[in-house]
Chain A
Amino acid sequence: MTDVLNPAVHHGHDDAHDEHHGPTGILKWLTTTDHKVIGLSYTITAVLMLVIGGLFAEIIRFQLATPDGHLVSLAQYNELFTMHGSVMIYLFAGPFAFGGLPNIIVPIQIGAPDMAFPRLNALSYWLYLTGSITMLSGFFTSGGAANFGWVAYAPLSNAVNSPGAGADLWIGGLLLTGFSAIFTGVNLCATIFYLRAPGMTLFRMPVFTWNLLVTAILILLAFPVLTAGLIMLYCDRHFGTHIFSVQGGGVPVLWQNIFWFWGHPEVYILALPFFGIVTEVIPVFSRKPVFGYKGMIFATMTIAALSLGVWAHHMFTTGTVLLPFFSFMSLLIAVPTGIKIFNWIGTMWRGQIWFSTAMLMAIGFVVTFLIGGLTGIYLASPPLDFFTHDTYFVVAHFHSVVMALVLAGMAGLYYWGPKITGYILHEGLGKIQFWFLFIGTQVFTLPMYLLGLYGMPRRMAVYPHNPEWQHLNEIATLGAIMIGISTIVFVINVGYSWKKFPAGDNPWDGHTLEWFTTSPPPHHNFYRLPQIRSERPTWDYNHPEHKALEHGKHEESHA
């Protein structure tokens, strides 16, 4: 245990507390409680999961390139789409969104030495890693991995319809990663509430940190429901309870209610951190403060508040839900999301835009997310949803959304990578990656919208010989190949740029506190801190002639 002093007063490289002599090698990764090392473990594991889930996706797309594909059997196809969804949502997007970059960046952005509970933070990572191993190990059991879809609807997920260890491993893995998320949520809340530097009031926090605070609150509201549901599901499967089975007086649709009560807030738990990344990247590369700072925060909180009242829009076709309530609430979420999109555009408006890779990725996010968001509005209205439910239209909608998040995540890696490692990724290769990823995403999703409107159901391994369907599927597969190439370019870029282009402390002329410290930051993050008087303290320090003014005040010369 170490008492960490306020770096602004007790600064200096000779401070004994700043020097860290911990174990090295594998023992360093096993025993660390440093949020930067844990965050890096999270990020590396999550990107590995992205690659694994991406491989599943490529197999699925190759299977669907022809109407009666023979690449995998029907049973294997069920396992593949289940594990593709599970790996991407539970093991990549979530942990990357609230465990990877935020773990590294949030404490630095608020001027804190570490997360509030460093050992709990380490435990979160180990639960996430073991949960991932547990879930994926289903492939090595005799019955294969879980095959009931990533949503595990009852009664398909009961012991009769889905026997075998794969399903139980899926439940177990999800229990572990669920607890990991809850602990991270507690940690983020406590860190942001208590460890801000003097002068860093709530409404001076960077928007990324704000979004993570709201995400953490949502995690605490949503994840316990999933954990409870999973325990009920396990009891149904093994202890003879009948919570989700009609035979014993249970209600199968209750599982859907419980699952989506977690599942829809989860969508925002995934999305809000990525919104935050984009809201950091766009102002820095537009050379302007973020447009509508308070509006942005208001929008984030509104999205979080509404997200608890929209879960049943996934269940319109069950016929057991209150359609007007859920439709209205879902449509309402378009308002704060629209505010965000306008604010991103407003930030770029008349700025001096620097089209770095991170900025391109962020712009790609805004475009792709707009497509995904607008089609979400269609799906929020029951008459359209009845027509498109369980078709490729829905698949296309959420793939637009999550591929937008992947673009935003890449923006985050290109933007903060130099801070985390001390080295910049190669910009040329980054731009090649961007174009493959961005165009690939559209080539991959847009045909699926049409496929859905033509009536192709999701989750089928073979389909009728319909030339229209086949051509569209071929185009979608081409898009998936392009996305695969973009991932390979990213891996090549990481290898090529390895310790090659030193970044310096502030390569992008950034706004927030992480650009004030060294790259990579020292143990406990800061040797010194600037005076914090606005939401961009580093910019104020580096550009005293262009200091931020109080909201609503204009400079004399401009008046």
Chain B
Amino acid sequence: MKQVSRILILLGIFFLAMAIVYWFWSKESGGSIMIFAGSLLCFMPGSYYGWWAKRMAPHPQDSKTGTSEEGAGVVATFPGTSIWPFTLGMAAFFVVLSLVFGIWLLIPGLGLAVWALLGGTAEGRRGGNH
């Protein structure tokens, strides 16, 4: 975690330096803002990981001598099969088609999206199919 944070912060510092050099050399606003935003996008998760790395016990995955026994127990929780990603995908499909073929396609699009969000959330709470 500490390493991840360091890598992201280093990238952020590099982009920040690049944004400063680019801005003072070119005075071009679009590119400068985009590089600066890129550096923020590295600092945000980088500082988050850094903050937690100080407060959490190191993971066995970050230890050079980590053994399987240290990692014993539940790795994570994974869903079984689910129809909701497909439903949400179709919803996005209809929403995008409404940009081209007419606003009425938003009705099936948003309808499917709401259905998929409700269904997906309920599935997560119930535990889903497995």
Residues of A within 8 A of B (CB): 1-6, 8-10, 22-23, 28, 30-33, 112-114, 116, 118-123, 125-127, 129-131, 133-134, 165, 168-169, 171-173, 175-176, 179, 193-204, 217, 220-221, 225, 234, 254, 257-258, 261, 301, 304-305, 308-309, 311-312, 320-322, 325, 524, 529, 531-533
Contacts and interface: CB of A to CB of B under 8 A. Distances in A.
B51 to A, nearest CB: 14
Contact of A119 (B3, B21, B84): B84
28 contacts: A1-B128, A3-B74, A4-B76, A4-B77, A9-B72, A28-B81, A32-B81, A118-B78, A119-B84, A119-B85, A130-B90, A130-B92, A131-B96, A134-B93, A134-B96, A134-B97, A176-B93, A195-B75, A198-B67, A201-B63, A203-B3, A204-B64, A221-B38, A258-B30, A258-B34, A308-B18, A312-B31, A325-B26
B92 A176 contact: yes
Given A33-B82, A33-B85, A165-B101, A195 B69 contact: no
A531 B67 contact: yes
Given A118-B79, A199-B63, A312-B31, A1 B100 contact: no
A194 B74 CA distance: 13
B78 to A, nearest CB: 5
Contacts of B120: 119
Contacts of A175: 96
Most buried by A among B14, B75, B77, B90: B75
Interface string B40-69: 011000000100000000001111111111
A2 B78 contact: yes
B75 A5 contact: yes
A5 B83 contact: no
A304 to B, nearest CB: 7
A119 B34 contact: no
Given A165-B101, A254-B30, A202 B62 contact: yes
Nearest to A305: B14
B85 A1 contact: no
A201 B64 contact: yes
A6 B89 contact: no
Nearest to A529: B68
Interface string B3-43: 11001100100110010011001101011001100100110
Contacts of A196: 61
Nearest to B35: A308
B75 A6 contact: yes
Interface string B96-108: 1101110000000
Given A202-B62, A225-B34, A234-B99, A33 B89 contact: no
B127 interface: yes
